[in-house]
Amino acid sequence: MIAMVGREQGQAILAVVPDVSRQSLEPVMTQAIASGSTVYTDSAKCYRFLEEVGYHHETVNHSRREYARGAVHQNRAEAIWSLFKPWLTTFRGVSQDNLPSYAKVFQFLFNHRHLTAFDRSLLVLQHTLEENARHFAQAHHWLTETCASLTMHPIPI
């Protein structure tokens, strides 16, 4: 699992990855992080690809007891973990299959922590209605095309 936190807005992205290989991390990180951004990580080898794909990459070396060097730190990501792990234990065990869903729920709650529970509920409802309207529009378009093709090609009896 990987946690990324934006420095400016403080928005978090949690993603479940099968391992810490470049093949697993690169697609998740390049989708979540704007090209040309500065990325701060620990000194793990799995992050060495970041400069190759267009990021400015700075590290701190935890094995040398270096946790911050000026603006270079990953304390916000560490803070996410310090909140996520206890939150997850309240469920008394989570299946690996369901872990991505739990991570997305936590991500939503964290990113909208400034809202009241009612306002978060309204946000979920609004998103659900927008998605349903989009699916309805797609289904309506498909049904219209299907019906039109049926009327254009009548079946002989």
Whether the predicted pLDDT of 149 surpasses 70: no
Model confidence over 2-11: pLDDT tens digits? 899 988 888 9
Q: Give the mean model confidence (pLDDT) for residues 12-22.
A: 93
What integer pLDDT is reported at residue 137 of this predicted model?
A: 74
Percent of the chain beyond pLDDT 90?
A: 64
- For residue 132, the model assigns a pLDDT of 75
pLDDT at 58: 94
Instruction: Give the chain as a DSSP string.
Output: -EEEE-TTT--EEEE--SSSSHHHHHHHHHHHS-TT-EEEEES-GGGGGGTTTT-EEEEE-GGGT--EETTEE-HHHHHHHHHHHHHHHTTS---TTTHHHHHHHHHHHHHTTTS-HHHHHHHHHHHHHHHHHHHHHHHHHHHHHHHHHHHHSPPP-
Mean pLDDT, residues 135-146 taken together: 70
The model's pLDDT over 95-129, given as tens digits with 9 standing for 90+, comes to: 889 999 999 999 999 999 999 999 999 998 888 88
Question: ∠ CA(111), CA(72), CA(18), 5° rounding?
Answer: 55
pLDDT in tens, 82-99: 999 999 999 888 888 999
The whole-angstrom separation of Cα 47 and Cα 26 is 9
pTM: 0.75
The predicted structure's pLDDT at residue 134: 74
pLDDT digits (tens, 9 = 90+) for 18-73: 999 999 999 999 999 999 999 999 999 999 999 999 999 999 999 999 899 999 99
Distance of CA 28 to the CA centre of its chain: 8
